[in-house]
Structure 1
């Protein structure tokens, strides 16, 4: 799949089939994540593959926007390392780029995925840290539910010329 095709046709997938994700595809997702740009090339991320059904269900139990984890065969927790990047704002941006790469790589391999925000919600951060036994310097930024889509979603054109400005802010009619 070409890069622009992947960008233009990727959709958030919240309904998954029971089919397990092959380990080679999961490794490709993680390789793609680690190719993301990061401030000063610090690469301050760690990834946790979550494929334990009980753990996925526990996350879905408390996170209001993670109910798809009840049926997703796996998720990847994207975490930032404050030992490698002490500015949590840069940490979040770096991990967001890695998360987007996971989403695109999943789509390019015929997988479905959806971004589940954890950061900056303190209650979500605390619960994920506890469930995943994260050390103090590791901050969970996002989760990505991953699996084979239960159905194909049509591409959606989100281009909006009204949101483009050249050189200065100008309202368009």
Structure 2
């Protein structure tokens, strides 16, 4: 799949077939996440692969917008390390870039995926941190639910020229 095609055709997929995702496919998605740009190349991310049914279901219970995890064969929790030395104020942008890379990689590899926000909702951050034993200096940022799609969604061009401002507002 060409890059622009992946960008223009990727959609949030929330319904999955009951088919497991192979570890090598997940590893490629993780590689894409780790190849995202980061401030000062500090790479402040950590990833938690979640494929245990009990954990996916528990997250779907504690997170009001994560109901799709009940049927997802796998998910990746993207976390930011708050102890990076130089560019610690940019971990949110860095983890966002990693999350988007993983969404595009999943799409390219034939999977459906959706970004589920965790940070900055304090209650969700606390609940996910406690459930998965995440240390205090690491912030749960997003969850990428993934699996083989059980729904069809066509691409949607969202270009809007009215949102573009030249040289000033």
TM-score by length of 1: 0.95
Q: Secondary structure at the match of 1:103?
A: helix
Moved runs in structure 1, 4+ residues, more than 6 A?
Answer: none
Instruction: Provide the C-alpha distance between the structure 1 equivalents of 2:122 and 2:87, rounded to a whole number of angstroms.
Output: 16
How many residues are paired up? Answer: 169
Q: In the alignment, which residue of structure 1 is the partner of 2:74?
A: 74
- What RMSD in Å do the two structures reach over aligned CA positions? 1.2
Whether the 8 Å CA contact 1:16–1:150 is kept in 2: the answer is yes
Q: Secondary structure at the match of 2:104?
A: helix
Q: In the alignment, which residue of structure 2 is the partner of 1:43?
A: 43
Q: Structure 2 stretches of 5 or more lacking a match? A: none
Q: In the alignment, which residue of structure 2 is the partner of 1:127?
A: 127
Q: Structure 1 stretches of 5 or more lacking a match? A: none
Instruction: Provide the C-alpha distance between the structure 1 equivalents of 2:14 and 2:6, rounded to a whole number of angstroms.
Output: 18
Instruction: Provide the C-alpha distance between the structure 1 equivalents of 2:32 and 2:67, rounded to a whole number of angstroms.
Output: 25
Q: Secondary structure at the match of 2:146?
A: strand
How far does residue 168 in structure 1 lie from its aligned partner after superposition? 1.1
Q: 1:119 to 1:86 in 2, by over 3 A?
A: farther
Instruction: Provide the C-alpha distance between the structure 1 equivalents of 2:133 and 2:88, rounded to a whole number of angstroms.
Output: 20
Q: In the alignment, which residue of structure 1 is the partner of 2:118?
A: 118
TM-score by length of 2: 0.97
